[in-house]
Structures are given as structure tokens and as C-alpha cells.
Copies of this chain bind each other. A is one copy, B any other.
Amino acid sequence: MKLKLLYTCIALTGLTASAFAQETVDAASVAKIREEGLNHSKVMDIAFNLTDVSGPRLAGSPGLKRAQDWAVSQLKEWGMANSKLEAWGKFGKGWEVQKNYAAITVPYYHAIIAIPKAWTPGTNGAIKGDVVLVKADSLADLDKYKGNLAGKIVIFDTKPLTERTFKADAARYTEEELDKMAQATMAPRGQRNNAFDPNSPAMAARRKMIAMRSAMATFFVDQKVGLVLSQGRGTDGTVFTTNGASYADTAKAVAPELETSSEDFQRILRLVKAGKKVELEADIKTAFFTNDLQGYNVVAEIPGTDKKLKDQVIMIGGHLDSWHAGTGATDNAAGSAVMMEAMRILKAIGFKPKRTIRIALWSSEEQGLFGSRGYVAAHFGDPRTLALKPEQAKLDAYYNLDNGTGKIRGIYLQGDSAAGPLFKAWLEPFKDLGATTVTVSNTGGTDHQSFDAVGLPGFQFIQDGIDYNTRTHHSNQDTYERLIEDDLKQAATIVASFVYNTSERTEMVPRKPLPTVAPPPPPAAPVAPAKN
């Protein structure tokens, strides 16, 4: 017998929804979900397989393929239906590091901490060369280096990074910060995304910088530069990584490039600027994979059982692809593992949902949300024309997780204020676990935006930041130990409960009005080599 508890929800300040809304929550089911999610969790085992066992999961790489195959197989093993890889369109080349060695050899030996930039080539065997400081603000400035860079190690005059050690790397949201989020109101559309106005000075400067970088990249290839060193963000051995070339199968050649730990980079730079001879040796091997240029998402389902509602779909997801220097533990094995675990929990408690529940683990999120955009375009509609497909009407809601290892503290409504009272009620049983806040605010940078762009209710949860921005997000330190077990258990439990509530509700989650204009495109991927 199911116990029904009634939570009455006062609409939040800042929400424009009806002042009072009633939403039922099935307390017995929540209790079952909590028991399975908090006391019989598999989330760390899932995360172990996605990180340590699979390795780095750069879009298109063998590591991502290992993780995808494992996820498909594991979801099947748990009894999910239609567990498979689904192509979303053309991505580009796969790439991985196969050897990574670099060291100072003069004035003394010191192996450096440095990571090949994604999609850059290797050194074609072991090389050794002097370091040359290149100072060039314009193409004309490059002239003086003509004929002098063959086999050399190139660096740029780059500012040292600010020391941050007097502040803790990791933090959780304070009650004050959460209260402020809860009080937020939506900014009018016109005030947002100014940075992407093609006529803005910022965008003009950006275009100029990209052109200069592109010209410099060509110059370095022509001049047969041995290796480029750029300074990676991060301190204490932590190095944040990016791409150094395009993943496109048609991308033009660039020189090999290492994102170098700030300490090693600045040591080399100080010595060179002081007129000391510095020599490096390196042996970098990277591999490109062009057999299959398609991108894929992992999808799997728990089919709906209610005759009238089973064609309606609730989706949950997160991106499975990562950067290449770590194993993408917090970005985003965490979200992927939580979503897989939420599916497992629902299956484990024997839940027969009214509506169909579908998980999607996206790829190529890091290059521009490509996996989810491709999926949305194939199933729901075109965000540019707003030509919608029939499935669009049947997607109840999409829940995303992609802000690291921190536990769930609430949810962003993404402007869909009518959903606020529902979510407030659904969070009520998780007050003791720290999840309370519903904010009408948007958050960006991840896959719920792909759904939002075609008028679908797409939501990202609010998560404690922990050390996501300071240590893990895209860095060589985004590894398994950054995952906080209790936080991931909490998150999976809450997601499972949200899915349960969405599925069993009479009505679908209320939607915002359809957007009237297509949202601005995301920023283009940077062109390498970066001179930062």
C-alpha cells in the first residue's frame, strides 16, 4: 500500500507561477528510492568503470568508446530496454596520447609536467632543441623568426598565474548563497549573451586574436618548429587542458604543442628572459582515428506501462565525453554515473513507470553540446527554424547533471517558473540531504540547453561546486579521488525521485512559451596554437 503525503507549496519569491499549487509526493516510493540509493549504491563502481577502467574519454577517442560500450552493456545487464549507441551526426577525428615525455636538459635535468593539447600531432620521435621566446603581436613581428625556429622549442612571454593558496580550493554553497539564488528573477532576454553580439568590440577582438593565432600556427608549421609550449592554467602540478587544433577531418596541420604546468613554464621563461640557454628534450606521440567520424550517444530505457502515457518520455542525462589529461571524473563521469545509478535504482525497486524513462549519455559536449544537439535535432526539432517534430510534444522533461561531484542543492528552472511549485514539492523529502533550492535562473554550458532551445523543459540541478573550478574541471587532476561518494549517492537518489514523480504525475511538466527567436550560437572552439 502506498502512503500519500501532501506537500503544499508556497510559490517562491521571484517565480511567476500560480501563487499556490498542490503536488503530491508518494512517500513510500521515495523511501524505497532512498533506501536503494543511499544504502545499496553502485555509483562508485559505475564511476570507477567510467574513469579508471576506461581512461580519458575525449570525444571520438578509444577511451570514450570503451566507456560507451561498457555503459551500453551495463544498462542492458540491469534490464534496461533499447540500450544502444545512437549516432547523432558527423563529429570528426578521434585522438589520443600514446607517449608524453618532456624535460629540461640544460641548464640541468628536470622532467616537466605538461600535456599535449588535444588534436595536436606528436614530435615524430625524440627531439632535443633550444628554447626560443617568440614575441609577436602581429604577422610582421614573426618575420624576424623566419629561418630560426626549425627544431626549436617555442614559448611565449606569458604572465605568471596568481597564487591562490590562501583560499580553500573547495567549497559548498552557504545558506546565504542558496537564499540569493532562490530570490533571483529572470533578466530580460536582451540583456543576456551580449558577448556573442557579432558587432561587439569583444567579438571583433576575438576574431582578430583567432586570426593571429591561426596565422602563427601556420607559420610554426612552415618553419618546422619542434614543439610549442604554452602555459596551462593551474598551480601545484594541476594543469588545465584544452584543444590545440580542430577535430575536423579537414583541419589544417599545426605544430606539436604542450600545455605546460605554470611552474615549469615560468621556470623556463624566467631562465630564457635572464639570457640563460635552456634546452629541452621531448618525445610526444599522438594518434588520430579517422575510420568512423560519426558521434554517438548512449541511450537506454525503462519502457512506460500506462497505455495512455507510455508514449510520453522523461529523459535524464549528462555528457560522457571528457578532456584528455585526467579521466574526467567530475566532468562528467560524476553526472553520467549518477544518471546510470538513478536508472539502476528505479529498476532495482521494481518501478513500473507510467511514462517511458530514457537515459542519454551525450558525447562531444565539450566541443559544443554536439551530442545532445544532434539528438534534439533528430528527435524534437530544429532550434534555428523552430520546426518541431511530433516527439517534441511527448517529451515530458529532461534532467541534466554536469557540475561536478557536489551533491544536489536544488534545481535551475531555466526560466520555466511554472515548474517551480512541482520541484519545490519534490525536493521537500530531501531537505535533510541539503537539497532545497529552486531558482528561476538559467545556467548554461551544458546539454539541457539543447532541449531548452526547442521549447522543451530542460533542467540542470544546482550542485555544490567543491573544487570543480579550482582543480578538476578539464584538468589533469580530474580523477576518481575527486569524487565524493556521499554526494553522488545523494544526487542519484534525488534524480531517481524526480524521475519517479515526473512519470507518475497526471500532467506533464508545464512548459515555457516556445522561444520566438533562435538562441545565439555557443562560442566557437578556440583555434590553436593558443598564445595565452
Residues of A within 8 A of B (CB): 48, 52-56, 62-63, 66, 96-101, 103, 107-111, 113, 160, 163, 165-171, 235-239, 261-263, 266-267, 270-271, 274, 276, 327, 466-467, 470-471, 476-477, 479-481
Contacts and interface: CB of A to CB of B under 8 A. Distances in A.
Number of copies: 2
B480 A266 contact: yes
A-B residue pairs, 8 tightest by C-beta? A237-B237, A55-B108, A165-B170, A165-B169, A100-B111, A168-B168, A101-B101, A165-B467
Contacts of A237: 113, 236-239, 261, 476-477
A284 to B, nearest CB: 10
| A66, A107, A160, A171 — most chain B CB neighbours (10 Å) | A107
Given A55-B107, A267-B480, A471 B163 contact: no
Contact of A167 (B160, B168, B270): B168
A69 to B, nearest CB: 13
A267 to B, nearest CB: 5
A62 B109 CA distance: 11
Contacts of A54: 108
A53 B266 contact: no
Contact of A53 (B99, B171, B271, B477): B271
A311 to B, nearest CB: 41
9 contacts: A53-B276, A62-B108, A101-B101, A165-B467, A166-B170, A167-B168, A168-B168, A266-B481, A267-B479
A270 B163 contact: no
B166 A168 contact: yes
Nearest to A268: B52
Given A109-B96, A481-B160, A52 B271 contact: yes
Given A52-B270, A96-B108, A98-B109, 14 more contacts: A48-B270, A52-B267, A63-B108, A96-B109, A101-B111, A165-B169, A165-B470, A167-B168, A235-B481, A236-B237, A237-B237, A237-B239, A263-B477, A266-B480
Contacts of A276: 53
B48 A274 contact: yes
Given A48-B270, A166-B168, A168-B167, A479 B263 contact: yes
Contacts of A271: 52-53
Contact of A165 (B108, B160, B168, B274): B168
